[in-house]
Amino acid sequence: MLTTLITGLVSGEAAESLGRMRKALVMYIIAGALLLCGVTFLLLAAFIAAARRFGAIEAALGFGGAFVLVALLVLLIHRLSAKSKAKKAAQRRQSEMAAVASAAAVAALPTLLSSSKGRSAALLAPALAALGWAIWRENTRSRRKMSREGL
C-alpha cells in the first residue's frame, strides 16, 4: 500500500487528482450559485402571486412567518439530534474507558502476582472484587435495558 502511494506521488497522479478535485469544486460552486438563483426566482414568483391574491403586506407576513417557522424547526431538529449524539458519545466513551481500565488491570496482573506472596494476596482481593463488581454492573445494565425494551 505504501509503495502504491509513493509511486502515485512520484508519477504525478497526486497533482492530477488535485487538479480534478479543484475543477469539481469549481463546478459544484457554480452549480450551487445557479441553484440559489433559481430558488430565489421561484420564491419571488410565489411571492408575487401571493401578493396579487392576498395583498403585499399579507404575503410578506406569510412568507416571513413561514421562513421563521422553518428556521425554528431546523434548530429544534438540530438540538434534538445533538443531544442524542452527545448521549451516545458519552456512553461510548464510558464503555471505552471501562475497557481500557480492565485491559490495564489484566496487563498489570502478572506483574503484581509475581511479587511476594503476602502482597499479591492483598492486591488480588481488591482486583477480584472490582472485576466482580464490573461484571455485576454490566449484567444489571443489560437486564434493565431488556426490561425497558419489553424483552
What is the residue-wise DSSP string for 4-71? Answer: HHHHHHHHTHHHHHHHHHHHHHHHHHHHHHHHHHHHHHHHHHHHHHHHHHH-HHHHHHHHHHHHHHHH
Q: List the grid coordinates of 5.
A: 502511494
In whole angstroms, give the CA distance from residue 83 to residue 87: 6
Identity at 73, one-letter amino acid code: L
Interval 110-145: pLDDT, tens:
776 666 655 656 667 777 777 778 887 777 765 556
The mean predicted confidence, pLDDT, of the chain is: 81
Residue located via cell numbers 435495558: 145
Model confidence pLDDT, tens digit, residues 56-79: 999 999 999 999 999 999 999 999
At 131, the amino acid letter reads: L
| Structural domain boundaries in the chain | 1-54, 56-101, 115-151
Q: Report if pTM > 0.95.
A: no
